[in-house]
Structure 1
Amino acid sequence: MTGGDTIINISDVLEYLFCPRFIYFMHCLDIPQHEESRFKVLKGREVHEQKRITNPEYLRKKLGVVRKELNVFIASKKNHIKGIVDEVLFLDDGTAAPFEYKFAEFKDKIYQTYKFQLVLHAIMIQENYNINVKKGFICFTRSNNRIEEVNFTEKDLKRGIEIINEILDIIDKGFYPGKTKNKNKCLDCCYSNICM
């Protein structure tokens, strides 16, 4: 098992899924990416803060929610990961589900980054609450707060843990990974001037 004492953030996983080399530049070379100036990042933080303070009592009855916890800091020592879940929903079928807000439009598909953010939240919720998690939800704030349900398979949960281990390998061994296969991501990348 990799990892030692290293604990990664959910945001590391999102960066890794965007391009594995982000992890190398950020963690091995200690070169920050200065995402603070990116409009969508700032707007996304603002949306999260807004949702946090407006109507915390609101339960989504249509989703079968009986109780929820907001802005939950959660970690898995076993799997070397930590993060904050926007909402942990407890459902009427005895399971729980992560709920995330995205400052984004729904474009008829769930991106891998969104899906695996929920999958990793699910792994941590299961470990910390000792409760089954079969699905998660994403609220697309720029599509009139449209909510999409994402179901998880055993394969998804297994892949989530593999992704964590791949990231830990890069950090702990200083391994230089291949870059994203999507060349369009390279156009707007803050590391393009140092990436070979």
Structure 2
Amino acid sequence: MGKKLVVGVLASGRGTNLQSIINSIEEGRLDAEIGIVISDNPEAKALLRAENHGLKQQCIESGDFADTEEYEEEMIEVLEENNVDLVAMAGFMKILSSYFIQHYSNRIMNIHPSLLPAFPGTDAQKQALEYGVKVSGCTVHFADEGMDSGPIIMQAAVSVLEDDTVESLSKRILAEEHRIYPEAIQLYADNKLQVRDDRVEIL
């Protein structure tokens, strides 16, 4: 029996994707463990979710550091102390620098509520509705130095209904996020993901 994949989760808000990862582990669908949950927001519900499941959690606020590099060095130190193999961003609202991205090259996953490369950045569901697309969805990808631009691992499509609001579309997309994020992490745990020429091959 090999060593379990240790995941470090970065979250800024409600932590529903964190919860889906926790549930998948507890229900035996994801063969991994969460080493640490880090938030930049002391009010993040994600920290409470971690605490409720007996997981280590820590708030690291960027305002407590002189600059981004010092802040990220602290995050890296905490991740390393907890033997993290894979960093999973779950609604983490800070942009990570090249320094951090390169330290964890192809070891940072992110989930985004659109079918990338369409509608990167914030308010993706609002962007999709305003553009009038008939299909939206979500994307799990490896984070790179661009905005929601790294190699795509998995996607799930969601039909856009005529009477959709940002809230109703977001809710249906979120259900798919909760399904595919743990699946993507399991593929990583099984060594089934290979990045070649900025594309992810599923082995």
- TM-score normalized by the length of structure 2: 0.27
* Greater helix fraction, Structure 1 or Structure 2: 1
Tell me: higher relative CO, structure 1 or 2? Use CA pairs within 8 A at least 6 residues apart.
Answer: 1
